[in-house]
Amino acid sequence: MSGEGKKPPMDTDGHRYGKGGEEEKPQMDTDEHRLGEGGGATTRFLGRGDLEKLVAELLGAGTRVVAPVDAGKGETEYRVVGQFTDAKLGAALPRRSLKEFFLPPTEELFRWRRDGAGLELQEAPASFPATVILGAFPCDAAAVQTLDKVMGWDYRDDPWFGRREATTIVALACNGQDGSCFCTAVGLGPDAARGSDLLLTAVRDGYEVQVLTAKGAALVGRHAARFAEACDEDPARNVRREACTRVSSNLQATPEKIRGWLQANFEHPIWKGIALRCHGCGACAAVCPTCHCFDIVDEPEGLAEGARRRNWDTCQTPVFTLHASGHNPRADQNARIRQRLNHKFRIYQERFGELLCTGCGRCARACPGGMDLPELLGALEKLAVSAPVPVPASAPVPAPAGGAFIPPPGGAR
């Protein structure tokens, strides 16, 4: 692919630097770019009728609108909608996350064609449609921002950030779905604002709207007639408090203690017991909002042309780490499930300073073997409490210079 027009990579704080280390204007709103003092937000009110009109105005302007829709059997999925009545806000957590709207299950990176003795390359489109995601669950919105760290670490993933910059995320505070939810145990909550541009909370006759980012403020400004002055915040506050209480009862865990235990117990016998339930099917990775492994393959289409594509992959299958020699450093499911838990609750935090899990619980719902992540974390918490391990200090690891690999603290890989 051509290197022309490449943007400098982002550092782990979400800033981009040009030549000489001069800071360039960030392209997106991260935690450091929230509105108001100390990350505070302004508040508005959006009536139910005005929300329907807002969606009509967005669609009329050519903006793509994505929202949870009815998928049958009491389930929902995020899909592009053609009218407000297609959306099913505040219902069941969608079966799959928002990840596929930023990192599609498969996408072309470029096409190639043989032209005599030469080779002609055709790059994939670099522009993406303006999109508003309406009714995103907070765990899904938070996951997108979590992945910004790795997507802009040692190389700026242009397709990812192109879609990010074209998308405004309007989240809806969750009521606490079921016993598989555990967002409060990983530092979030049913009303978490992380990753959202606007956060709605359902109240009588409409929604309290928290304006969280400049992108969210721009949407409100373009449709100012739809938004009224802030309503009484007490009802919204009560809704959020009740949901947090409901979810926090599902799992009480201390991620820092679990991280220390994982660091010190790489060969613990518990991994064999856990792995007995794991089929290695990868269903957990497919529905997870933060799993982001992919494979890149060249796929011929006839004799003279083809495409290079990026496809989702998962560390839970044997072929993921299989070498051409036949050697496999993770030869059994014990090693693979250990890698999954270590990556989410130790390695990513050591590299980027945050967990690679938002507590959505989809993996527990999707697993055909009954692998229940809240249950597993509860078991690890008990082990960590019964045999405390000093928690190693962690700090985000700088992006490697020149693409060279820099081992994170503690030997994470």
DSSP character at residue 157:
-
Least confident residue range of 10-24, 275-289, 332-346:
10-24
Q: What are the residue boundaries of the structural domains of the chain, listed by start?
A: 16-411
Give the pLDDT confidence score for residue 406 in this predicted structure. 35
Q: What was the pLDDT predicted at 393? A: 59
Three-class DSSP category at 113: strand
Q: Binning pLDDT at 50, 70 and 90, where does residue 241 land?
A: confident
Single-letter amino acid, residue 321 = T
Distance between CA 273 and CA 124 in Å, rounded?
A: 45
In this predicted structure, the answer to whether residue 148 has a pLDDT above a threshold of 60 is yes
Please report the pLDDT score of residue 113 as a whole number.
94
Which pLDDT does position 390 carry in this prediction? 67
Q: In the prediction, which pLDDT does 231 show?
A: 72
- In the structure, what pLDDT confidence band is assigned to residue 399 with cuts at 50, 70 and 90? low
Task: Tell me which of 3-17, 96-110, 270-284, 390-404 is least confident.
Answer: 3-17
What pLDDT, on the 0 to 100 scale, is given for residue 410?
A: 39
Q: pLDDT tens digits for 161-205? A: 999 999 999 999 998 888 889 999 999 999 999 999 999 999 988
The mean of the pLDDT values for the chain is 85
Report residue 40's pLDDT band, with 50, 70 and 90 as the boundaries.
Answer: low
Q: How many other CB atoms sit within 10 Å of the CB of residue 55?
A: 23
The answer to whether 185 and 199 are in contact (CB under 8 A) is no
d(C-alpha 314, C-alpha 337), whole Å: 11
**Is residue 68 within 8 Å of 135, Cβ to Cβ?**
yes
Model confidence at 391, pLDDT cuts 50, 70, 90, reads: low
Alpha helices in 255-372 (DSSP H): 255-264, 270-275, 283-287, 333-342, 348-352, 362-366
Q: What does the pLDDT look like over 268-319, one tens digit per residue?
A: 999 999 898 899 999 999 999 999 999 999 999 998 999 999 999 999 999 9
401 against 84, higher pLDDT: 84
Tell whether the model's pLDDT for residue 327 goes beyond 80: yes
The H-assigned helical ranges of 34-106 are 48-60
Band of residue 388 on the pLDDT scale cut at 50, 70, 90? confident
Distance in angstroms (rounded) separating the CA atoms of residues 111 and 167: 26
Q: What is the pLDDT of residue 311?
A: 97
The arithmetic mean of pLDDT across residues 380-391, rounded, is 83
Alpha-carbon span 293 to 19, nearest angstrom: 30
**Lowest-pLDDT choice from 118-132, 228-242, 305-319:** 228-242
Checking if the pLDDT of 32 tops 80, the result is no
